[in-house]
Amino acid sequence: MDDHLGAGSLARLLRGWREGAGPAVSAQAALAGRIATLLSDGRLAVGTRVPSERELAVALGVGRGTVAAAYQELREDGYLVRRRGSGTWTASPATPPAGSGPPNGAPLDGTLHVGPTGYSPFAPMGAPQTQDGGRAVIDLAHAAPWAPMEAMSEAAARALAELPTHLTSTGYDVLGLPALREAVAARLTAQGLRTSADEVMITAGAQHAHSLVTRTLVRPGDRVLIEQPTYPGAIDLCRHASARAVPVAMVEDPASGRPGWDLDALSAAMRAATPTLGYLVVDHQNPTGAVMSPETRAAVVAAAGRHGVALVVDDCLREMWLDTPVPPPLGAWAGAGGTPVITTGGLSKTVWGGLRIGWLRAPRTLLRRIAAARASDDISTPVLEQLVAVGLVERLDELVEASRQTLAHRRDHLRGALARALPEWRVPNPSGGFSLWVDLGVPRSSALVEAAARFGVHLAAGPRFATGGAFEQYLRLPYTLSPDALDDAVARLAEAWDSLGVDTPTLTTVV
Ligand SMILES: Cc1ncc(COP(=O)(O)O)c(C=O)c1O
């Protein structure tokens, strides 16, 4: 694989780096900051050889000294390393960069996500951990729920009590514990997708399921259809599999103003690009929050069948509807013997990501191939975690219902706070999921992410959710934090936005 990044390619990724930082920031700091952001949010891969200082200076139209100083800064922070005789390479800082140590201030409340060191993998370089005498860093880079403490503790205690009965076996089962597979199959069946336990594999999270499917079905050079924008993990998987992503743009339904799928574009991409696999998030699409209608589900399955495209339907957010229940899973429209539809899911979005329990449902023959591919990988899922998951799946209705009410309130709260503080932003009203896909009105998402880091807010920029640097005008804002934390985040975001000096177009109402 060619891991050398040309100067032109890096310059394209860096588009807007100078203007984004504002006049108060030196050119070298602005350049270093943008490269660190690209690395932190995954748009620039670790282990890539970057262009020489001279090549990049020419591509950016700046003096070589500026690039040299920026590279030097990045080396000091651990984002770049020089290898003798083979140039300069991107790296992952072993320790948080200067200024991002543990928080001095206490978290705003129990739900504020601050990692053990307060360091977020998305934190751009030099992101200060405390501001103004000890403000905690607010992590809006991750859209994930808080753990239900009591339910987790109870399920863990029960699992521990049950563990001895499993200790007489080897504990290896590539498909997972029968009790959990049955519980998952029952839940999928109740949702309208008839499933038996022998069609289910338990995995270490939904993303692990996607990785296993990709490894089984996708060969280097194959094409994989994805939505644009989409969950960044899908883009990363394509890259890791050396597959070519075929992005199909999400569109706005003119009647409802809500995002949706362009069926003609999906069918055309399936016909013209002949992808091996299509990855779709049809319930509370990440990041737009879109929900696919039953008619479109039927048509997508039919188109995939016509063009021989296997589908992976990532249903890990489907249970998180806030206003109206979603239609049955897309897999329910797949007929026996037709194109394979693989449904993935897990407990990361309904209960807690730290549990690392996910699953996939696939036709039995395909499941056997996936199991064979897994046998040389992680082999099987930890038994204790699966036992905990059995207890949680039994209580899932109750747990999800409680989260729904809290999340609906927080969604409305964040929308209200944004409408007051940043009225020029276009803020949607998704019917589920965890985040708002906000239209900033101007392509300044990466610049805002960098500025927000200086105010102690960590975010993922719009282009992280797309191929080719698209969606600079959009920002994903999760509403999973407490109302107090969201208020604080919005106040800081408004400050960060102000610091960019964006000339906002005046909103006019046409009557
Ligand atoms: C759409 C989507 N799929 C998959 C995942 C990863 O899920 P898991 O934690 O179960 O691997 C996420 C997490 O953010 C997600 O948003």
Residue 210 has pLDDT above 80, yes or no: yes
Residue 451 included in any domain:
no
Residues 156, 101 within the same domain? no
Q: Rounded distance, CA 440 to CA 494, Å?
A: 12
Confidence band (pLDDT; 50, 70, 90) for 1?
very low
Residues 161, 98 within the same domain? no
Give the pair of three-digit tokens for residue 410: 């927080």
Q: What is the mean pLDDT of residues 286-305?
A: 96
Q: Is 281 in the pocket of ligand 1 (CB under 6 A)?
A: yes
Domain count, the chain: 2
Radius of gyration from C-alpha coordinates of the chain: 23
Residues 247, 339 within the same domain? yes
Residue 133 included in any domain:
no
Residue 213 included in any domain:
yes
Q: Rounded distance, CA 401 to CA 435, Å?
A: 18
Q: Are strands 310-314 and 244-249 parallel, antiparallel or unpaired?
A: unpaired
Phi, psi for 343 (deg, rounded to 5):
-110, 130
Q: Is 73 in the pocket of ligand 1 (CB under 6 A)?
A: no
Place of tokens 């934190």: 123
Residues 236, 304 within the same domain? yes
Of residues 75, 77, 73, the one with CA closest to residue 95: 77
CA-281 nearest atom, ligand 1: 1
Q: Is 232 in the pocket of ligand 1 (CB under 6 A)?
A: no
Residue 44 has pLDDT above 90, yes or no: no
The separation between the first and the last C-alpha atoms of the chain, rounded to the nearest angstrom, is: 56
Residues 244, 343 within the same domain? yes
Q: How far is the CA of 205 from the centre of ligand 1 (A)?
A: 7
CA-231 nearest atom, ligand 1: 1
Q: Using an 8 Å Cβ cutoff, are 373 and 215 in contact?
A: yes
Residues 162, 57 within the same domain? no
Q: Is 207 in the pocket of ligand 1 (CB under 6 A)?
A: yes
Residue 95 included in any domain:
yes
Confidence band (pLDDT; 50, 70, 90) for 246?
very high
Parent domain of 86: 1-105
Residue 464 included in any domain:
no
Residue 297 has pLDDT above 50, yes or no: yes
Q: Is 69 in the pocket of ligand 1 (CB under 6 A)?
A: no
Q: Is 286 in the pocket of ligand 1 (CB under 6 A)?
A: yes
Q: Is 428 in the pocket of ligand 1 (CB under 6 A)?
A: no
Q: How far is the CA of 134 from the centre of ligand 1 (A)?
A: 32
Residues 96, 178 within the same domain? no
Residue 258 included in any domain:
yes
pLDDT at 269: 97
Q: How far is the CA of 346 from the centre of ligand 1 (A)?
A: 8
Last residue of a domain, one of 352, 377, 395: 395
Task: Kindly report, residue by residue over 174-198, the tens digit of the pLDDT.
Answer: 999 999 999 999 999 999 999 999 9
Measuring from atom 6 of ligand 1, which residue has the nearest CA? Answer: 207
Residues 330, 228 within the same domain? yes
The partner residues of 224 in beta bridges, in order of sequence, read 245, 277
Q: How far is the CA of 304 from the centre of ligand 1 (A)?
A: 23
CATH classification of the domain holding 357: 3.40.640.10
Confidence band (pLDDT; 50, 70, 90) for 23?
confident
Residues 171, 276 within the same domain? yes
Q: Is 433 in the pocket of ligand 1 (CB under 6 A)?
A: no
CA-434 nearest atom, ligand 1: 16
Crossing angle for the helix pair 149-162 and 383-394, to the nearest 10 degrees: 130
Q: How far is the CA of 348 from the centre of ligand 1 (A)?
A: 7
Q: Is 338 in the pocket of ligand 1 (CB under 6 A)?
A: no
Q: How far is the CA of 193 from the centre of ligand 1 (A)?
A: 20
Q: Is 314 in the pocket of ligand 1 (CB under 6 A)?
A: yes
Q: How many degrees, rounded to 5, is the angle at CA 420 between CA 414 and CA 425?
A: 75
Q: What is the mean pLDDT of residues 247-251?
A: 95
Residue 511 has pLDDT above 70, yes or no: no
The pLDDT > 90 percentage for the chain reads 75
Give the pair of three-digit tokens for residue 97: 């960069």
Last residue of a domain, one of 365, 395, 425: 395
pLDDT at 43: 73
CA-144 nearest atom, ligand 1: 14
CATH classification of the domain holding 55: 1.10.10.10
Give the pair of three-digit tokens for residue 119: 């360091």
Helix (H, G, I), strand (E, B) or coil at 215: helix
Give me the amino acid identity at 99: G
Residues 93, 239 within the same domain? no
Give me the amino acid identity at 216: T
Q: How far is the CA of 429 from the centre of ligand 1 (A)?
A: 21
Residues 197, 89 within the same domain? no
Q: How far is the CA of 118 from the centre of ligand 1 (A)?
A: 22
Q: Rounded distance, CA 292 to CA 332, Å?
A: 13
Q: What is the mean pLDDT of residues 293-312?
A: 97
Last residue of a domain, one of 355, 376, 395: 395
Residue 509 included in any domain:
no
Q: Using an 8 Å Cβ cutoff, are 246 and 235 in contact?
A: no
Q: How far is the CA of 146 from the centre of ligand 1 (A)?
A: 14
Residue 492 included in any domain:
no
Q: Rounded distance, CA 68 to CA 241, Å?
A: 33
User: CB under 8 Å to 258, separation ≥6 — which residues?
Assistant: 252, 290, 428
Residues 249, 318 within the same domain? yes
Residue 96 has pLDDT above 90, yes or no: no
Q: Rounded distance, CA 465 to CA 467, Å?
A: 7
